[in-house]
Amino acid sequence: MTFAVEVQQVTCRLGERDVLHGVDLAVNAGELITLVGPSGCGKSTLLRVIAGLEEATSGKIVVGGVDVTAMPAEKRHVGLVFQSNALFGHLRVDKNIAFGLRHLPKQERRERVQEMLELVKLGNLSRRYPHQLSGGEQQRVALARALAPQPPVVLLDEPFGALDEVLREELGWEVKDILTKRNTAAILVTHDRHEAITLGDRVAVMQDGKVLQCDVPRVVYEQPITRFVADFLAVASYVPAETGEQKLVRPHQLEVIAGGPHTVMRVEFLGSTHRYTIRSHDGSTLVADLGPRNPLDAGDSCDVRVLKNS
Amino acid sequence: MRPMRLKLGDMFGWATILGIVALVASPVLVLAWSWRDPSGDVWAELWRTRLPGMISTTAILLIAVVGGTVVLGTSLAWLVSAFHFPGRRVVGWLLVTPLAIPGYIGGFVWLDTLSNVVGARGVRSLWLCALVLIVSLYPYVFLFARAAFADQGADTLAAARSLGLGSWGAFFQVSLPMARPAIAAGAALVAMETLTDIGTVRLFNVSTLSDGVMRVWFGTGDLGAATELASALTGAALLLIACERLLRRGGRQSRASAEKVMSPRTLTVFGNAVVLSVVVVVLTIAVVIPVARLINWSIESNRAGTALTVAGGIRHHAGNTLMLMAAATVTAIVIGTILALVVAHRGRLARLAGRVSTVGYAMPGPVVAVGAVVMLAAVDRRDVLPDSFLLVGSVIGLVYALVVRFIAVGYQGVEASLERVPQPAVESARVLGAGRMRTAFTIEVPAARFGILAATALLAVDITKELPITLLLRPFGVDTLSVWVWQATSESLWAQAAVPSLVMVFMGMFSVGLLLVALERGAELVS
């Protein structure tokens, strides 16, 4: 089967710095991959290389079955959504969306713009200018504009980064729905780990210009291949396993009992749960999320147990 | 390792850059060539007699004018940015209008007005000349400083105040240092204009280097000697550019986009009175009295029937001025825009090449004129043009020299406004299938339109009042308003210069109005 986009052994050197070292990534049609990693790990550069805004130093990029490695950005047929400032300020919303549709006859172009406006629920704002829209509306227009030419893949570079949290969550799900509906593949760069795990069909974790792991959220969350991936995605504790190695446990996998060899260092109220930060007798730190029952306070002694089948 | 690909688009872009740069920089670069074969006698003679005096006079005038414009322009900009007083918006516009009145027009009005007070001899002094230049050139500093103050975030100032600085302290320790690069840029323009001025200094009998070039050319007709003197002038200009670079170092701090702009403080009644009287005094000296006297002279000479003693009359001159201004302005803005578009996204080397194209602006008018003549004559000698058409002494030659001199105004203005076009928008256009050309013309140029308009207006202002190049290179029979003013004032026929001066001032006011509209709309677009 062909992938919507396939990145093979791509390296990229910007100035004096190697930003990407041999990245491999393949996205199926209709699949949403979230791309996370610390700042400067190369996630935005990877998108720019796929889009053709930076040149790959070596490697191969295939979009919709076509090798685009040597093509300029305007020939690659990918969609791209930036965090902000990407709309054409001097053009109305409908003209913004129609920008990539020059190849279509007029009637068809008009219909496509209308279809896109309805898809992102902005049908009544087509004659506004970008500065007359809210931040969320602007990002919907940007998405509609990127999807209008029906590219096999849309690249989203922290598209919700400039929005407040409530709107971010809401728009995130909406974007996922829209992409699924259009059967369009997407790579979504985010610095929000929660967003990465919840929105992605698969999550790709990058560090130092490499994709360390790319898998469905549950696998990446529970079976991270390196300690970096484990710590980066969510709070992690390590307990000795029977094999003598360290075993990863997430906060929901631990139970805390009053009295024992460890000490509660801090209790945080998280709404539906309490988060306990515990100093174990051997000096390591454990984190557990528990319901509001059996309340312990900072300074109390306690014991922990790893829950089975969780 | 992938082999280097030769891209047609890239080669075309570089060819464009190099072509434009070669065309506009060559007249200045050929002057360097003249040093090959120095005419030692003239040079030695000059050095023995007048050159040291010229250099010191030029230096004193420069220091006085630059110092004066920086103080005046910056304080006025601070007043309109930091305080709220009645008519603040209108005052902000009015304070730019002196741009429309060239020093040599304000100069002869004040020369005549003051000679009744100080006496005909005492009036022709370096200090009065400096004063006239200060009131006609301060708007450059004012415009740059005001833009810089508007760019400073309210939070920065609030932080300074909260750390215990009073409003004066905040001005001297925060606002002024932050605006320094912009003020230096404005001051550099003033310095170039002063170094280049020939009309005003001639009125006040101040022998500067530029004046020297003109006198050697007209007096001895020795192009070689004029060229060498011009090179000395070039040295001075380069020194100034170096100073400016130094002052601009540590350049761009810009406010975070979310931060609010400085909000002006309301003044007391007494404060209002002080601010408004300062403004009234400046405008009276710079605009009201010159325009009133010009009108008065025009009416008088019209009544006496002595106004139209110049061949061709006012229509002929105004028409020529308009035609030259339009031709040179349009050419300069078109070439400048193309250059800025091609240079953008092409990296350091391209920017450097672009900068070379602006050397003409750093060169005084007479120098550019000499360089252009050397270049054009070289082409003429080859006899490549049909019907033994000669570029020297043609309108094309004159427009070419004007473009060489002023292209920097177009190029740098467009470049600065292109830089403010959000990069994500440009890249989105590329990804949506638009090539470099389509992106440039459908996204970048429209987004930068007010910046381009402002640059066009500034070009029109500068070219309308330009004197030395027009004077030296105009074809026979193509006299402009500025030439008429020059000729009448060199014979102290003030009243005869009044009508063309007035027409020039009105043309200038129109361009200044356009400039103000462009700047205001552009600022709205950004915020």
Q: Which two tokens stand for residue B392?
A: 């020297």
Of A207-221, B351-365, B432-446, B491-505, the range with the lowest mean pLDDT is B351-365
Q: Is A80 part of the contact surface with chain B (CB cutoff 8 Å)?
A: yes
pLDDT at res. B305: 66
Helix B40-48 and helix B209-220, axial crossing angle in degrees, nearest 10: 130
User: Under an 8 A CB cutoff, do B431 and A74 touch?
Assistant: yes
Residue ranges for chain A with pLDDT beneath 70: 1, 294, 309-310
pLDDT at res. B310: 58
Residues in chain B: 527
pLDDT at res. B258: 46
Mean per-residue pLDDT over chain B, rounded: 83
pLDDT at res. B476: 83
Q: Is the pLDDT of residue B246 over 80?
A: no
| CA A298 vs CA A267, A280, B215: distances in Å | 6, 13, 91
Do A256 and A278 touch, CB atoms closer than 8 A? yes
User: Under an 8 A CB cutoff, do B433 and A100 touch?
Assistant: yes
pLDDT at res. B471: 87
What is the mean pLDDT of the segment spanning B57-64?
93
pLDDT at res. B514: 92
Q: Is the pLDDT of residue B255 over 60?
A: no
Q: Is the pLDDT of residue B308 over 50?
A: yes
Q: Which two tokens stand for residue B238?
A: 């380069």
**CA torsion B293→B299→B303→B306, rounded to 10°?**
70
Name the pLDDT band for B249 (thresholds 50, 70, 90): low
Cβ-based contacts of A72 with chain B (< 8 Å): 430, 435
| CA A205 vs CA A226, A229, A298, B460: distances in Å | 11, 7, 34, 57
Name the pLDDT band for B312 (thresholds 50, 70, 90): low
Q: Which of B2, B417, B428, B438 to probe the A interface (max A CBs under 10 A)?
A: B428
More confident residue, B164 or B443: B443
* Portion 5-24 of B in contact with A at CB < 8 A: 5
In three-state form (DSSP H/G/I as H, E/B as E, the rest C), the secondary structure along B258-304 is CCCECCCEECCHHHHHHHHHHHHHHHHHHHHHHHHHHHHHHHHHHHH
User: Under an 8 A CB cutoff, do A85 and B422 touch?
Assistant: yes
pLDDT at res. B527: 43
Distance (Å, whole) CA A146 – CA A159: 12
Q: Is the pLDDT of residue B407 over 80?
A: yes
**pLDDT tens for each residue of A45-94:** 999 999 999 999 999 999 999 999 999 999 999 999 998 888 998 899 99
Distance (Å, whole) CA B328 – CA B469: 12
Of B180-189, B309-318, B480-489, the range with the lowest mean pLDDT is B309-318
Name the pLDDT band for B385 (thresholds 50, 70, 90): confident
Q: Which of A90, A101, A104, A156 to probe the B interface (max B CBs under 10 A)?
A: A90
pLDDT at res. B250: 55
Cβ-based contacts of B434 with chain A (< 8 Å): 74, 99
pLDDT at res. B256: 46
More confident residue, B413 or B70: B70
What is the CB-side half-sphere exposure of residue B41 using CA atoms within 13 A?
A: 1
pLDDT at res. B412: 85
Q: Which two tokens stand for residue A239?
A: 């307990």
pLDDT at res. B330: 96
Q: Is B425 part of the contact surface with chain A (CB cutoff 8 Å)?
A: yes
Q: Is the pLDDT of residue B336 over 60?
A: yes
Q: Is the pLDDT of residue B123 over 90?
A: no
Distance (Å, whole) CA A63 – CA A3: 8
More confident residue, B159 or B396: B396
- DSSP letters for B460-503: HHHHHH--HHHHHHPPTT---HHHHHHHHHHTT-HHHHHHHHHH
Alpha-carbon dihedral sign for residues B268, B274, B277, B278: negative
CA B114, B119, B123: angle at the middle one, nearest 5? 55
pLDDT at res. A112: 95
pLDDT at res. B321: 92
User: Under an 8 A CB cutoff, do B428 and A57 touch?
Assistant: no
Name the pLDDT band for B303 (thresholds 50, 70, 90): confident
pLDDT at res. B195: 86
More confident residue, B512 or B350: B512
Name the pLDDT band for B21 (thresholds 50, 70, 90): confident
Residues contacting A123, CB < 8 A, separation 6+: A114, A117
Q: Between A57, A86, A149, which is nearest B422 by CB? A: A86
Q: Is B447 part of the contact surface with chain A (CB cutoff 8 Å)?
A: yes
